[in-house]
């Protein structure tokens, strides 16, 4: 028998329910077996756009979020929303959501929804997120926050005005290896960042694969490689190194008529083509420097997100294709042992789930970890990270890269307006 059964509103409205005696509730969770006095909170989620790629990842993530560690809550996968009824019904059934709907406005208006998880193409993020915040829901939105800087600014303002928790889906920063790198930066092990070099390379372009139609069209939410995959390495750079002050970049858009060429800049700009390849350099506000590359024309590269970060006391290297490890070199290593060593994630690292190293930590773990942190922020009444403000700044860096590629000059990020 339960003494109460409360659901969560804003951080100031977080309530718990306390278990006492025999469990007769059908929504069992890890806390149910902890016995008398354990605290639990049920969070009811609606996912918007849940029938696609991220709908699958987030459905797995929501299923694992409360299990991965004690997030202090149970999750109810309440409603899956899709663009049409057939798609909504099929996806809800397949991904095990209680209900389905083809009307996100109606779902957002419901009192029995606590969290709105937006996994639609970016062109729809702003309208849904701003409406959900206005309705008092906690909001998780996939990256990029929006391709449109003016929309991102509005989303940031709406989040800052609200008393709910909001977070953006830059998932890779939550991998245990990245969390460990961040720790080594914060505790001084690595020293001051000097140079960051990152690549995000995929082969979908060279293979002629179309992942989702919207990615190829600006109006439908496509943002080119700088916005779609480059945003991840900008987020990592900002998280680990600090704010980017200014950038200079070049971008290439494939010439539809000539397989061997990038379009001349003038033609690219006139035709509003999306970028298929991009290179940019950056100066950070703390004095560090960086270089970035993003392309979907890299044969053999399967979602390879790679970076090297050189600091005054050491150097780290990370490759998402080996997400369970990182390479580390410390200036303080004995002279006869200098060089890179591989550090495998294990039970001594934050957010590693298993009592034994070598078990791996991958894309699903990462999806769950970011949602688990979001849930913890709700339960503890803290801000989500990366926040709407963080993601809007990332969008401003992207806009600066674009402006720089068009003007062929350095662009200061803070001077970019929507
Ligand atoms: P997708 O095209 O596979 O799925 C999007 C879904 O949204 C579709 O099923 C579509 O029918 C639905 N939808 C569109 N408008 C809707 C509306 N008004 N109401 C309800 N449903 C609607 O796209 P994908 O790849 O899942 O991308 C979605 C978002 O996730 C994008 O922002 C993308 O950048 C991001 N993403 C993030 C990844 C990551 O690793 N963090 C990986 C892939 C995508
Ligand atoms: C593009 O192919 C894509 O799906 C991005 O949209 C994601 O953000 C990235 O994680 C994987 O690649």
Query: Cα of 54 to ligand 1 centre, how many Å?
Result: 6
Per-residue pLDDT tens over the stretch 79-127: 999 999 999 999 999 999 999 999 999 999 999 999 999 999 999 999 9
Q: Which among 94, 150, 95 is positioned nearest to 117, based on CA atoms?
A: 95
Claim to verify: residue 151 and residue 247 sit in the same structural domain:
no
Claim to verify: residue 329 and residue 305 sit in the same structural domain:
yes
| Closest approach atom of ligand 1 to CA 56 | 26
Claim to verify: residue 149 and residue 241 sit in the same structural domain:
no
| Structural contact between residues 118 and 80, judged by C-beta atoms closer than 8 angstroms | no
Claim to verify: residue 229 and residue 345 sit in the same structural domain:
yes
- Once rounded to an integer, what is the mean pLDDT over residues 375-403? 97
pLDDT value for 1: 21
CATH number for the domain harbouring residue 53: 3.40.50.720
Claim to verify: residue 156 and residue 185 sit in the same structural domain:
no
pLDDT value for 30: 33
Claim to verify: residue 58 and residue 129 sit in the same structural domain:
yes
337 lies in some domain: yes
Claim to verify: residue 97 and residue 182 sit in the same structural domain:
no
Higher pLDDT, 212 or 355: 355
Claim to verify: residue 149 and residue 238 sit in the same structural domain:
no
- The best mutation among 53, 212, 229, 362 to test binding of ligand 2, ranked by most ligand atoms within 8 Å of the C-beta, falls on 229
CB atoms within 10 A of CB 362: 11
Using pLDDT thresholds of 50, 70 and 90, give the confidence band for residue 39.
low
Indicate whether residue 150 lines ligand 2 (CB < 6 A). Answer: no
Cis peptide, bond prior to residue 225, ω within 30 of zero: no
Indicate whether residue 119 lines ligand 1 (CB < 6 A). Answer: yes
| Closest approach atom of ligand 1 to CA 169 | 41
Domain count, the chain: 2
Claim to verify: residue 283 and residue 345 sit in the same structural domain:
yes
Q: Which of 146, 171, 196 is the last residue of a domain?
A: 171
222 lies in some domain: yes
362 lies in some domain: no
Indicate whether residue 305 lines ligand 2 (CB < 6 A). Answer: no
Indicate whether residue 303 lines ligand 2 (CB < 6 A). Answer: yes
Claim to verify: residue 33 and residue 122 sit in the same structural domain:
yes
Query: Cα of 33 to ligand 1 centre, how many Å?
Result: 36
Per-residue pLDDT tens over the stretch 47-81: 999 999 999 999 999 999 888 777 889 999 999 99
In order, the DSSP letters of 1-34 are -BS---B--SGGG---EEB-SS---S---GGGGG
Does 41 score more than 90 pLDDT? Answer: no
Q: Which among 66, 68, 6 is positioned nearest to 41, based on CA atoms?
A: 6
Indicate whether residue 49 lines ligand 1 (CB < 6 A). Answer: yes
Q: Which of 171, 200, 219 is the last residue of a domain?
A: 171
| Spatial separation of the C-alpha atoms in residues 66 and 282, rounded to whole Å | 38
353 lies in some domain: yes
Q: Whose structure tokens read 């690219």?
A: 268
- Once rounded to an integer, what is the mean pLDDT over residues 162-166? 97
Burial of 348 (0-12, 13-18, 19+ CB in 10 A): exposed
- Once rounded to an integer, what is the mean pLDDT over residues 18-31? 31
Q: Which of 171, 189, 212 is the last residue of a domain?
A: 171
194 lies in some domain: yes
Indicate whether residue 277 lines ligand 2 (CB < 6 A). Answer: no
Does 231 score more than 90 pLDDT? Answer: yes
Query: Cα of 52 to ligand 1 centre, how many Å?
Result: 6
Q: What share of the chain is helix, strand, coil (3-state, %, to 5)?
A: 35, 25, 40
Cis peptide, bond prior to residue 344, ω within 30 of zero: no
Higher pLDDT, 228 or 17: 228
Claim to verify: residue 179 and residue 167 sit in the same structural domain:
no
| Closest approach atom of ligand 1 to CA 125 | 32
pLDDT value for 211: 80
3 lies in some domain: no
368 lies in some domain: no
Domain extent, residue 391, equals 173-357+377-415
- The best mutation among 303, 391, 398 to test binding of ligand 2, ranked by most ligand atoms within 8 Å of the C-beta, falls on 303
Query: pTM of the entire structure?
Result: 0.92
**Strands (DSSP E) along 191-259, which ranges?**
193-201, 244-252
Indicate whether residue 135 lines ligand 1 (CB < 6 A). Answer: no
CATH number for the domain harbouring residue 271: 3.30.360.10
Query: Cα of 299 to ligand 2 centre, how many Å?
Result: 16
Higher pLDDT, 220 or 164: 164
Q: Whose structure tokens read 């409603």?
A: 79
Does 209 score more than 60 pLDDT? Answer: yes
From first CA to last CA, the distance across the chain in angstroms is 55
In order, the DSSP letters of 255-313 are -TT-TT-BPPHHHHHHTTPPPSEEEEEEEETTS-EEEEEEES--TT-SSEEEEEEEESS
3-state secondary structure (DSSP) of residue 216 = helix
Claim to verify: residue 152 and residue 81 sit in the same structural domain:
yes
């Amino acid at each position: 028998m339960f003494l109460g059964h409360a659901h969560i509103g804003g951080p100031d409205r977080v309530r718990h329910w306390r278990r006492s005696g025999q469990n007769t509730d059908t929504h069992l969770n890890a806390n149910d077996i902890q016995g008398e006095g354990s605290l639990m909170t049920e969070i009811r989620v609606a996912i918007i756009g849940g029938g696609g790629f991220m709908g699958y990842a987030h459905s797995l993530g929501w299923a694992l979020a409360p299990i991965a560690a004690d997030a202090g809550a149970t999750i109810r996968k309440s409603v899956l929303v899709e663009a049409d009824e057939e798609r909504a019904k099929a996806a809800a059934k397949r991904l095990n959501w209680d209900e389905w709907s083809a009307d996100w406005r109606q779902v957002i208006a419901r009192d029995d929804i606590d969290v709105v998880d937006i996994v639609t193409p970016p062109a729809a993020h702003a309208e849904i997120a701003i409406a959900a915040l206005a309705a008092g829901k906690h909001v998780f939105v996939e990256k990029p926050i929006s391709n449109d800087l003016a929309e991102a600014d509005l989303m940031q303002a709406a989040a800052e005005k609200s008393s709910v928790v909001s977070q953006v889906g830059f998932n890779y920063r939550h991998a245990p290896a990245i969390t460990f790198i961040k720790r080594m930066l914060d505790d001084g092990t690595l020293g001051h960042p000097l140079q960051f070099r990152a690549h995000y390379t995929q082969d979908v372009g060279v293979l002629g694969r179309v992942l989702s139609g919207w990615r190829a069209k600006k109006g439908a939410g496509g943002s080119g490689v700088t916005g779609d995959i480059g945003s991840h390495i900008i987020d990592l750079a900002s998280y680990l190194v600090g704010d980017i002050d200014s950038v200079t970049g070049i971008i290439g858009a494939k010439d539809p008529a000539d397989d061997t060429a990038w379009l001349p800049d003038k033609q690219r700009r006139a035709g509003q083509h999306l970028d298929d390849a991009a290179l940019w350099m950056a100066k950070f506000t703390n004095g560090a420097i960086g270089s970035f590359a993003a392309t979907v024309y890299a044969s053999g590269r399967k979602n390879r997100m790679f970076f090297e970060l050189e600091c005054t006391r050491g150097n780290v290297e990370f490759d998402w294709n080996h997400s369970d490890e990182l390479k580390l070199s410390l200036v303080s290593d004995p002279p006869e042992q200098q060089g890179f060593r591989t550090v495998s994630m294990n039970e001594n690292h934050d957010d590693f789930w298993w009592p034994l190293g070598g078990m791996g930590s991958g894309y699903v773990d990462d999806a769950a970890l970011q949602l688990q942190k979001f849930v913890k922020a709700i339960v503890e009444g803290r801000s989500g990270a990366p926040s709407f403000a963080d993601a809007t700044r990332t969008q401003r860096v992207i806009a600066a890269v674009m402006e720089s590629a068009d003007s062929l000059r350095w662009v200061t990020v803070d001077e970019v307006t929507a």
